[in-house]
Chain A
Amino acid sequence: MGVVQVAGCALLSVVLILVLRELRAELALPARLSAALLLFGAALTLYVPVIAHMRALFALSGGVDYATPILRAAGIALICEFTASFCRDLGENTVAAGVLLFGKLEILVISLPLLDDVLEIAKELLKF
């Protein structure tokens, strides 16, 4: 999906949502959700080659083991931010905060083995 198609979809969705809001307000919300998911999906298709390229770069740098946690963390951040912004749009700030908190903790959990490795190196350095 190219940028022109994405821009066209976005504009059409906005017009559709505005029309639906006037004619049948109860359908505006599902339309908004569908449009957002469609755009998010389109963005994810671009994210896949970036991830593949970054994995290759990690492999070249000799740290292929570290690629999975950091890319997972990036993915979690992406999903949480998207969900939270959607919740905020619907006026559900508390739910948005909950999602962000969950995302933050999930990233920290993923980072824990990395922090263990950092501490291990620090311990090795102090053993000299």
Chain B
Amino acid sequence: MKKVGIWCSIALCLLVLLTPAVHAEGGGEDADVSVEAGAVREEWEGFWSAIPPEIADLLPASFFSENAQDIAGGVKDATSLGAILSVIGRITGCSISENLSMMARIFGILLISAVFRSLCAGYASSAGVKNALSLCSSATMVLLIFGGLRTRFSEISAFFCVIQDLSVALLPLMGALYAMGGNVGAAAANHAVMTGFLSILQAVVSGTVLPVAGICLALALLDAVSGNGSLRSLAGLIKKTYTLTLSFLMLLLCGVLGMQSTLAKAGDTLALRTARFAAGSFLPVVGGAVSETLRTVAGSVQYLRGVAGTGAILVLLFAFLPVFLSVLLNRITFMLCGAAAKLLHCDAEEKVLSELSSVYGYFLAVIASLFVVVTFSLTLFSRCAAAG
């Protein structure tokens, strides 16, 4: 109880210390961004329409405002520690109740299996009858476990679709804001790399992630029923190879995106500085005004880019958190059930449950790496200063 009190006071202190800092950070922004915001209105609306309703429910109403400063205020509110913790609490609460019911169901199945095995162990002395009974009971238990799991993959598949839709909707907005800030080269480079990334994402999602998981689960299923044991190692090999390839691909994409953006941004800055210098030198009065205007526009675009980038990261975070937490809790549930199966000497069920937990671990890795890559590209975008 004493420890809980200490932790609560630490959390309260952190909240008190962090909340004003977040507000103070954005408080000084008074740039007139209405002209620039109006220029990208269509792209903003495209991005809003790509946000699924369940994620839109988690965002503040001001995030969908017409005014750029209101959007920035909404993003600031939603990124406060309290707001994010409340969203996590809401998501985790729902997931925990779902997982507890699933755990109770699997524990019931394990109990049936244990009772059945002990019932049969007493009288089935001949090896043939024992094996036939074992096959029958393994098939039944595996069917019972998998009966309630088939719908669980749909939410993972939906997450990949949401990420893709959001990225597609973000591309025009990012391109327009890059170009408005004078980063024409960076806009082109970012667009090219992101388009490449999206096509790879499409291939990864529809072609590999779920099929690989399906193959591994099918192998685990057949392995548990047959009691062979060799199919499980094959599934492990497939998973390891796939995860390694995917990590390499993601690393490559991050590297290319980072290098392209940095180089293109440097090139754009040089080009814009040259233009500004030429304008200032050859047209003494008007040229200076043009140069100043360009600097103001760059500041406003920088602000908008920060708002768009942080807002997009927030939307992605709210798309990522429910799926990630749900998959994580599912994995913990399978691990707990696997441990219970081991305690009850239900070998076939233990194999299936440990394979399920391993497949969910693989899902966690894929989801996290996708989120990291998309967040990295958005961070590059929002942190990339306007040219000049």
Cα distance, A80 to B116, chains bound together (Å): 17
Does the CB pair B144–A66 fall under 8 Å?
Answer: yes
CB distance from B211 to the nearest CB of A (A): 5
A46 CB to nearest chain B CB (Å): 11
Picked from B128, B133, B140, B218, the residue with its CB within 8 Å of the CB of A100 is B128
Q: Which residues in window 135-163 of B have CB below 8 A to A? A: 135-137, 139-140, 142-144, 146-148, 150, 153, 157
Q: Is residue A23 contacting chain B, with contact meaning CB distance below 8 A?
A: no
Which bracket fits the contact residues of A? 35 or more
Q: Provided the pairs A50-B119, A69-B140 are in contact, do residues A121 and B221 lie with their beta carbons within 8 angstroms? A: yes
Interface centre among B111, B120, B139, B146 (most CB of A within 10 A): B139
Report which of B123, B139, B148 forms a contact with A77, defined as CB distance below 8 A.
B123
Chain A residues, Cβ within 8 Å of B225: 115, 118
CB neighbours (8 Å) of A61 from chain B are: 105, 108-109, 112, 144
* A110 CA to B108 CA, complexed, in Å: 23
Whether A74 lies near B218 (C-beta < 8 A) is no
CB-based contact B116/A74 at 8 Å:
yes
Cβ of B166 within 8 Å of any chain A Cβ, yes or no, is: no
Q: For chain B, what secondary structure do more than half of its interface residues adopt (helix, strand, loop), or is it mixed? A: helix
Smallest CB gap from A117: residue in B: B143
B120 contacts A74, C-beta separation under 8 Å: yes
> Across the interface, do B217 and A125 meet the contact criterion of CB distance under 8 Å?
yes
Whole-angstrom distance between the alpha carbons of A120 and B62 in the complex? 49
For the complex, is B115 an interface residue (Cβ under 8 Å from A)? yes
Contacts of B150 in A (CB 8 A): 121, 124
Q: Which residues of A contact B (CB under 8 A)?
A: 50, 54, 57-58, 60-63, 66, 69-70, 73-74, 77-78, 80-82, 84-85, 100-101, 103-104, 107-108, 110-111, 114-115, 117-118, 121-122, 124-128
19 CB contacts below 8 A, A to B, read: A61-B108, A63-B143, A73-B137, A74-B116, A77-B123, A77-B132, A80-B129, A81-B129, A100-B128, A104-B132, A107-B132, A107-B136, A110-B136, A114-B139, A115-B139, A122-B218, A125-B217, A125-B218, A128-B210
Give me the interface of B with A, judged by CB distance under 8 Å. 105, 108-109, 111-112, 115-116, 119-120, 123-126, 128-129, 131-133, 135-137, 139-140, 142-144, 146-148, 150, 153, 157, 210-211, 213-215, 217-218, 221-222, 225
